[in-house]
Amino acid sequence: MTRVRIPPMLRSDVGGARELEADGDTVGDVIEDLVDRYPPLRSQLYENGSLGSFVNVYLGGEDVRTLAGLETPTRNGATVILLPAMAGGL
């Protein structure tokens, strides 16, 4: 199981959870597992069938774009951080 950090703007789509566990051998599988269980997430994260470029995904603090992208294998106990751009300066 991989822990996935849910950013505040997506929490209403997952019943308010700040962190969830999901299954998968790669970062892509983990996210896929999550959107299967929480369908409203799909439209927030995906753009034309793939993960939107406005959402960053980190594994162990590293942007998966600098690793093997969504193919990056997850490690046991690692945390995935989903991070959409945030504009507020209120």
Partner 1 sequence: MAGYRDLLARVKDEIHEISSLEAQERHQSEGAPLFVDVREPDEWEEGHIPGAIYVSRGRLESRIEGLVPDKARPLVVYCSAGSRSAFAAKALGEIGYEDVVSLAGGFTDWKRNGFDVTIPRVLSSEQRSRYSRHLLIPEVGEDGQQRLLDARVLLIGAGGLGSPASLYLAAAGVGTLGIVDADVVDESNLQRQIVHSTERLGEPKVSSAKRTLEALNPDVRVLPFQERLTSENVDRILGEGWDVIVDGADNFPTRYLLNDASVWHGIPVVHGSIFRFEGQATVFSPHAGPCYRCLFPQPPPAELAPSCAEGGVLGVLPGIIGSLQANETLKLILERGDTLAGRLLLFDALGTTLDEVSVRRDPECPVCGDNPTITDYVDYVEFCNAPAVYDA
9 binds partner 1 (CB under 8 A): yes
77 binds partner 1 (CB under 8 A): no
- CA pair distance 25, 51, nearest whole angstrom: 17
| 1 closest CA partner among 71, 62, 80 | 80
| Residue whose CB is less far from partner 1, 9 or 68 | 9
| 36 closest CA partner among 1, 72, 45 | 45
Q: Which of 18, 25, 36, 71 binds partner 1 (CB under 8 A)?
A: 18
Q: Which of 14, 17, 56, 78 binds partner 1 (CB under 8 A)?
A: 56
Binding residues for partner 1 (CB under 8 A): 7-9, 18, 43-44, 47, 52-56, 58, 61-63, 66, 81, 83-90
